[in-house]
Amino acid sequence: MLMLPAVSEGAHLNRIPVLYWNHVGLEMNRAVHSLDGPQTGPTMSSRALGLLHLAMHDAYFAALGQASPYQTYLTALPAQANPNWATADAELAMAGAATKVLDALYTRKANAIPDATHETLVVMMRNLISSYPGEINTLHPAYAFGEIIGVTIMVKLGVKPGEPGADAGYYRPSTGRYKFREDPVHPVRRVALDPEHPERGSKPVRAYHGPHYGDVQAFAVHFPQDHALAPPPLGGPLYNNALREVVALGGAPGSARLTRSPDQTVAAYFWAYDGANLIGTPPRLYNQIVRKLYEAEVTGNLTHGQLIRLFALINVAMADAGKFAWKEKYKWELWRPQTGVREHDSGSGPGAANGTISIDPDADPFWTALGAPDTNTNRQAFKPPFPAYPSGHATFGAACFQMVRLFLGQAGEEKDGQGIDGLAFEFVSEELNGVSRDLDGPYDPATPLSDQPGTIRTRIVRRFASLWDAIFENGISRVYLGVHWNFDSFDPADAPQEGPRYGRPATFRYSNVWPKRQALPVGGIPLGLGIANDIWQNGLREPPPVQNIAVHPFQQVALNMAITPVR
């Protein structure tokens, strides 16, 4: 059985129904990344949380009927609520939607997942559901009503059997200059030929995450054509400055020209969450921070209904951020710094035709990035297996935190919602919590992490003056890891200079953020801000039918989600 370390937050949070179900989604996020289960990676994990919270949102507010303070996402509900239902019934409906979506996401057996992993996830799911502090009466009509909503959301927005999702399919990267390809430091990983019998040997696999994910169905963006990016600034002064910056700030310890400070290294690790063992992906981190904002009363005295709305908004925004970020990633296929620094000289790389007398002084064929940390393992840091531009971290974080700012009315006075807010907070990242560590040997899932030998990461409480500050540091942290260029997050021309480095994030205004846009933006931060603005402006409502994908009967059957009969 997987032994997950305790989460550092008040136990009272999980006595609030929507926060309990959010907790279940976040626990499953880190469990599947520890066990190589389903719904992994930033794309599918953000989609899973979006499905969960959107289903709960519609089940709860549809069950309230005329008493609901919010409209549902679905413009046509699949069933009618009892007009006499009250808040307790709406919470039962929310539980029905949550359990139906969670079962569909995590307890269906996939061929590539070993039986032991599947059984562990099923047991974990059952234990989490049975620990729900509220009522789960599966015989109640409100619970069955919630199940119907959950199935409807899954059929409409879930990745169907046979659709690519985050799988690589037959994708192969280009060998051209500036083009993404496998990490030169860790080009392949070995996987078992038969997951049920690892003793039968392994094979080399080149992992490419989500090359077709940009074609999946959007959730709630109403202007999809507007959420595209300008091309990355290749070959000119902005690119060369970004290359020099990542060499100076993103190299591994001992790298030539490295000037990264301890504070920058802390920022690099604080925001990582690169699918790490026992930690999971960035959408989990951003949910944790919003929970912390509520726990610390930074968000004010929100009602349960307002919490349901807020968590639906942030997770739907991140689900759409994943779709549109990955659409752009595989449109531009930009190489990561690990490749770009090594092959910066025109005589380097598989596409080079002519030699040079001496290599470009900005090139370093032996450069190694600090890398995304493979925390709670004994494995080396790595380069995420998808193109650099734009940064997924920057897009997810900007979409999530901008939605919080909009919901609380603290997103500035400009039309595109930019400007400083007063939402200061402190947070302990699980990358730097005094428990997570770099292990001396392989991870043992049968032993508590605290009993496994390795170098413990120092516990650090990090304070942010605002969410606007957090949006910037989340983006620039990827440069400090050496896995992104600065323009993957923002247009460097937007960043005011104070001395040799960037000025205060409070003074930043990102150019061409939707809807106040003169041209296509550069980087994930303006992309994420615009996605949040679009969803907010359109009220978390289902997009026009032209956006929707028809569901064939065989696809619905393949979901294998029987609805509990109404009794």
Q: Tokens for 556?
A: 């619905």
Strands in 179-295 per DSSP E: 189-192, 202-205
Burial of 175 (0-12, 13-18, 19+ CB in 10 A): exposed
Catalytic position from the list 23, 209, 393, 484: 393
The residue written with tokens 């493979």 in the block is 374
**Helix or strand or coil: residue 190?**
strand
Q: Which helix (H) or strand (E) holds 474?
A: helix 467-480
Q: Tokens for 28?
A: 């499953």
d(CA 201, CA 31): 25
Q: How many separate helices (H) and strands (E) can be counted in the chain?
A: 14, 8
- DSSP assignment letter at 487: G
d(CA 207, CA 211): 11
Residues 6+ apart with CB under 8 A from 130: none
Q: Which helix (H) or strand (E) holds 425?
A: strand 425-427
Residues 6+ apart with CB under 8 A from 22: 52, 53, 287, 291, 311
d(CA 281, CA 210): 15
d(CA 395, CA 484): 13
Q: Which helix (H) or strand (E) holds 464?
A: strand 462-464
Task: Write the CA distances from 538 to 40, 65, 298, 316, 554, integer angstroms.
Answer: 29, 21, 26, 13, 32
d(CA 392, CA 397): 8
Establish how many alpha carbons lie within 13 A of residue 345's alpha carbon, considering only the half-sphere containing its beta carbon. Answer: 17
Total length of the chain: 567
One-letter-per-residue 3-state SS of 38-101: CCCHHHHHHHHHHHHHHHHHHHHHHHHHHHCCCCCCCCCCCCCCCCCCCHHHHHHHHHHHHHHH
d(CA 315, CA 396): 9
Burial of 436 (0-12, 13-18, 19+ CB in 10 A): buried
344 belongs to the catalytic site: no
- DSSP assignment letter at 456: E
Task: Write the CA distances from 554 to 51, 177, 336, 559, integer angstroms.
Answer: 21, 43, 40, 9
Q: Which helix (H) or strand (E) holds 501?
A: strand 501-502
Residues 6+ apart with CB under 8 A from 212: 164, 165, 167, 169, 171, 330
Catalytic sites, residue numbers: 393
